[in-house]
Amino acid sequence: MKQALMEVMRMNRICRMVLVTCLGSFILVIFYFQSMLHPVIRRNPFGMDICCRKGSRSPLQELYNPTQLELSNTAILHQIRRDQVTDTCRANSMSSRKRRVLTPNDLKHLVVDEDHEMIYCYVPKVACTNWKRVMMVLTGRGKYSDPMEIPANEAHISSNLKTLNQYSIPEINHRLKSYMKFLFVREPFERLVSAYRNKFTQKYNTSFHKRYGTKIVRRQRKNATQEALRKGDDVKFEEFVAYLIDPHTQREEPFNEHWQTVYSLCHPCHIHYDLIGKYETLEDDSNYILQLAGVGSYLKFPTYAKSTRTTDEMTTEFFQNISSEHQTHLYEVYKLDFLMFNYSVPSYLKLELEGGGGGKRACFI
């Protein structure tokens, strides 16, 4: 009898253990399905609770399949810009598609934001410092809050942002297909003058003076003084232009990124960009992108008045002393950027082209 009682107690313990195990498994299953239905909540840099991208619409979905049925004027505008790039690439297929396969080195300007599924190709002298600051806020996961609190030099430290060339080939292809890709462009010669003013007229840019200024003086200036050859800190704009169109320069090495063409930096004939922002409409285009990313309610693109900004009038003055021959050669170097991004030939140019010369200022479509 005693043995039978012990056997019953043992069976009861086994049953309880089985019951507890089943109940625990059931609870785990419930938690699993809850986590699938409700994305993880994290706190954004501004102390607001927002959902991670998982489970919500991506910027790419929001762009091409907007929540609202009717396309906004902004969406139509960007479609026109995309079509302009496509048409230019098609029309210039013989010259613009020489390199059909991109290498990882071609992708070093494409900054990746994993959290919001975006890729930004930065172009120097087109508000890239502020856009890098914004990308640091977006990818910092709470480390940064206000873009303008990030020092400019910190925004240009390569380790602070991840670029597409750091991924494997399959990972690169997946992101190029699934993420929203955008870039910002500027009137090519205005951007060029901005680069010259920043790199060759500011005394603090000694690295550029040594690296490029001395070379330009040596090649383009007759009877240069020993001091000019040694310092390279007084390069004239005419000498800079002569250096750019010199065949020896183009054979020697690629242009520096500050005066390299957008076509060569971002490869828009090989990579389909979903949005093409313009310096002339910088604030509107930037905030539209942030809106698509789902952060527009608490993150705005930084704006500030900069009295030293290179303007169209300033660019006109710089080109007054450039010969028509050199203007023509320089236009040929940047021609695809003019055509691809719908910038008309500036009226101040005196080009030696078949069918006439200058035209009207671009209308910034």
Residue pLDDT tens, the chain, 365 long: 545 545 545 555 555 555 545 555 554 444 444 433 333 323 343 333 333 454 578 899 888 888 765 678 899 999 999 999 999 999 987 554 455 688 889 999 999 999 999 999 999 999 999 999 999 999 987 788 899 999 999 999 999 999 999 999 999 999 999 999 999 999 999 999 999 999 999 999 999 999 999 999 999 999 999 999 999 999 999 999 999 999 999 899 899 999 999 999 999 999 999 999 999 999 999 999 999 999 998 899 988 666 678 899 999 999 999 999 999 999 999 999 999 999 999 999 998 765 444 443 444 45
Q: Could you identify the residue written with the tokens 């498994």?
A: 25
Q: What is the pLDDT of residues 154-211, one digit of tens each?
A: 999 999 999 999 999 999 999 999 999 999 999 999 999 999 999 999 999 999 999 9
What is the DSSP code string of 275-304?
EEEEGGGHHHHHHHHHHHTT-TTT------
Backbone angles phi, psi at 173, to 5 degrees: -60, -40
Strands 275-278 and 180-185: parallel
Domain boundaries, the chain: 56-185+263-308, 191-245+311-334
Considering only CA atoms, which of 232, 193, 225 is closest in space to residue 210? 232
The DSSP bridge partners found for residue 184 are 277
